[in-house]
Amino acid sequence: MRQPTDQPADDLTAPLPGPLLRLPRPVRVLAPTAVVLLLLVPLAAHDPDFGPTASPGTNAALMAFGACALAFRSRFPAATAAATLLSGQLPLAFALYGLAIRRGAGPLLYVLAVLAELRLFVPFDLGDISNPSALANLVEDPLVFGAVPLALGLTAHQRGRTVRVLAERARLLAERNRLLVEARLHAEERAAAAERARLAREMHDVVSNRVSLITLHAGAGQVAQAGDPAAVGVTLGLIRALGLQALTELRGLLGVLTPASDQAPSLRGLPTLVEESRQAGLAVGLTVTGPDDGLPAPGPKVQYAAYRIVQEALTNAHKHAPAAEVAVTVAVEPDGLRLAVVNSPTETAGTHGTTGTHGTTGTHGTAEATGPGGTTAPEPELPSGGHGLVGMRTRADDLGGTLHAGPTPEGGFAVRARLPLTAA
């Protein structure tokens, strides 16, 4: 459903409709002056009743003075209204309208309005107002030339204020919409980047672990192919099983980008994961404790992250310390789920006898394999992209937990993490 703030900014900043016919400014400014000079001044010069005095010449002069004053009503509306108090009714009406539309209601307008109404009462005889006709004549000029122009001017002034307020609100709303659109685009970009990073992390964990085990089994099968066909068959079966597992996880990952909660890897899969590493030749021990009575089990997201962290740590051990002993410990405690994957130091003979960490200070040694004819050749090291530790830390951070990875005082390597029992 389209929200009000989703309307295009162009619709909000479009100019508001104006009058159907808008004359040029000089015409609008000088038109009243021209009308009074061309029509009313000649009438006042020939009709003694057409003006505030009994002298036609004086009336014509006052009318001409008021007409000239009207030319300045845009810049000096109050002074123009005061000057036209001595002129005829029509110049005074124009001046009052101009004052009301430009200044609005205020003390100055009230004072000039009272003076104008008194001025419009002057030509009439207040002695006989007993009949309706005389009363109508009494209120005609103050109403037509005083009250009506003031009412029209105040109405136009208020309309102008309303139009300006609405235009400002439309501008602010357009600016707000623009900022909302930019924020939404930035949020979508951040979400897309986070999803790409998450998908890459999932792909790395699945592919790296399974392919590493497949590579190790393939190396073992290559060594044993001459003298032990049964061992080769077992190795090929393990390779097939690992390949099927990798394909299953990749299908789930590419199908919905995240496994369903009932099919996602969890702590229940750690024994199988450890057994796969043992079959690949890594000495791994697993200890899982908790949760105690009254303590809730970790949530699905927490168990999934713990499984992936252990999986990646075992993959690193395969790559960098294939001959080491690895201890996997998982404990569910009141303050969270704690896990540790610690491998012992690796010492090998010859030129490969150095001891190091997971891609930090060296290698854990290179395993040697005996091939046909009794020859000994070192197994090639498994490639490493350097993303494993970063991915593990990201998983812990996303849940509000912590992860530390580094060498142990004995010369091995340890990955320790603490995850909350429920996802943040």
Tell me the pLDDT tens digit for each residue of 316-353.
888 888 889 999 999 999 889 999 999 998 764 333 33
Residue 87 pLDDT: 81
Cα distance between residue 100 and residue 119, in whole Å? 18
pLDDT at position 5 over 80: no
Residue 88 pLDDT: 77
Please name the amino acid found at residue 223: V
| DSSP 8-state code for residue 416 | E
Residue 245 pLDDT: 73
Mean pLDDT of 25-33: 76
- 277 and 315 in contact (C-beta within 8 Å)? no
Which two structure tokens, joined as six digits, stand for 333?
Answer: 């405690």
Residue 408 pLDDT: 92
Instruction: Give the closest residue to 404 by CA, choosing from 351, 350, 340, 352.
Output: 340
pLDDT at position 204 over 90: no
- β-bridge partners, 414: 342, 406
pLDDT at position 14 over 70: no
Mean pLDDT of 260-272: 77
User: How far, in Å, are 6, 114, 135, 232, 285 from residue 220 at the CA level?
Assistant: 63, 111, 122, 8, 22
pLDDT interval class at 254 (50, 70, 90): low
The better pLDDT of the pair 111, 86 is held by: 111
Q: Does residue 291 have a cis peptide bond before it, meaning omega lies within 30 degrees of 0?
A: yes
Cα distance between residue 53 and residue 95, in whole Å? 20
Residue 225 pLDDT: 61
Instruction: Give the closest residue to 311 by CA, choosing from 363, 246, 235, 256.
Output: 246
Residue 362 pLDDT: 38
HSE of 5, CA atoms in CB hemisphere, 13 A: 10
The better pLDDT of the pair 88, 276 is held by: 276
Residue 19 pLDDT: 56
pLDDT interval class at 69 (50, 70, 90): confident
In sequence order, what E strands does 227-318 have? Answer: 283-289
Cα distance between residue 90 and residue 301, in whole Å? 84
The better pLDDT of the pair 305, 39 is held by: 305
pLDDT at position 298 over 60: yes
- 88 and 51 in contact (C-beta within 8 Å)? yes
Residue 106 pLDDT: 85
The total number of residues written for the chain in this structure: 424
- 396 and 201 in contact (C-beta within 8 Å)? no
Cα distance between residue 309 and residue 340, in whole Å? 9
Instruction: Give the closest residue to 71 by CA, choosing from 36, 112, 44.
Output: 36
The better pLDDT of the pair 280, 273 is held by: 273
Residue 90 pLDDT: 84
pLDDT at position 268 over 80: yes
User: How far, in Å, are 117, 318, 376, 378, 408 from residue 415 at the CA level?
Assistant: 94, 14, 33, 27, 10
Residue 1 pLDDT: 42
Cα distance between residue 342 and residue 415, in whole Å? 6
The better pLDDT of the pair 238, 424 is held by: 238
Instruction: Give the closest residue to 86 by CA, choosing from 108, 118, 40, 126.
Output: 118
What digits encode the pLDDT tens for the residues 117-134?
888 776 554 455 556 665
Residue 12 pLDDT: 44
pLDDT interval class at 252 (50, 70, 90): low
Which two structure tokens, joined as six digits, stand for 54?
Answer: 């009994």
Residue 258 pLDDT: 47
Residue 143 pLDDT: 83
Residue 119 pLDDT: 80
Instruction: Give the closest residue to 341 by CA, choosing from 366, 361, 320, 362.
Output: 320
Q: What is the mean pLDDT of the chain?
A: 76
Residue 227 pLDDT: 65
Share of the chain above pLDDT 70, in %: 74
What does 215-233 look like in DSSP terms, one character per residue? HHHHHHHHHHTTT-HHHHH
pLDDT at position 100 over 80: yes
Mean pLDDT of 90-112: 86
